Amino acid sequence: MAPRVYLFLEEKEFVLEAWENANLEIKRCVDNHQLTVYPGHNSNHADIEIKCENIELTLKFSLRDLWQEKSLMLTSINQSVVYDINDENFDYWDTIPPFGVVELFGIDFNRGKETTEAEVEAFCLLLNHFLLKHFMMYVFLEREIQLVLPNILNLNSNLKEFSHNGVKGYRVANFG
C-alpha cells in the first residue's frame, strides 16, 4: 500500500489482478490489459489510464491526495461519519484514515458496442480492488462518475455518501 500519491508514483509496475476463482469476465479484463500511471501536475496528483482490449473498455482518471493537498473536502467527508454509538447508522469501523485518502476526478470512461454489463461490472470490481490495494480510501463526486455509477453503487457494500458544497459524493474504504 502506498499511503501517499507520490509513493504510489514510485512503484515500478501497475496491474489489475484477478483473484482465485474469479469469473470469466474478470479474467477477460485482466488477460489483455494495459495500466499506465503518469505523474500529475505535482507530486500529490497522478493520471491513470486503463485499457482492457479484450472487452473494449478504457478508463482515464486523475487522483489527488486529499491530505497532502489540505483539501476542504476532508471536512465534508469527516462530517459523514456517525460518531454517536446509539445511532442506528453507527459503524465502529467507519473512520477517515489520517493518510491514503485520494479523490478520483476527471473521469473519462469508454466502452465498446459489444461490451456487456457483466464486463463493466467486472471492470469496476477490478478497479475497486486496485484502488484499495494502493490506498486506504478513495472518494469521488457523483457527477464525475455518472457513466459507471450504477455499477459502483451496486457492487460496493463499503460505499458511504457525503455532501461537499451541495454535491453528493461517495467514499470507499476497506473497513475492518
Mean pLDDT of 127-138: 92
**How confident is the model at residue 49, as a pLDDT?**
97
**82: helix, coil or strand?**
coil
Which helix (H) or strand (E) segment holds residue 6: the answer is: helix 5-9
pTM here is 0.89
**How confident is the model at residue 3, as a pLDDT?**
79
Task: Say if residue 176's pLDDT is above 60.
Answer: no
**134: helix, coil or strand?**
helix
Task: Say if residue 107's pLDDT is above 60.
Answer: yes
**How confident is the model at residue 81, as a pLDDT?**
86
Is 32 in contact with 53 (CB distance < 8 Å)?
Answer: yes
70 torsion bin: left (phi>0), alpha (psi -120 to 50), beta (else) = left
Instruction: Count each helix (H run) and each strand (E run) in the chain, helices first.
Output: 5, 7
Q: Which residue has the cell 461490472?
A: 121
Mean pLDDT of 53-79: 94
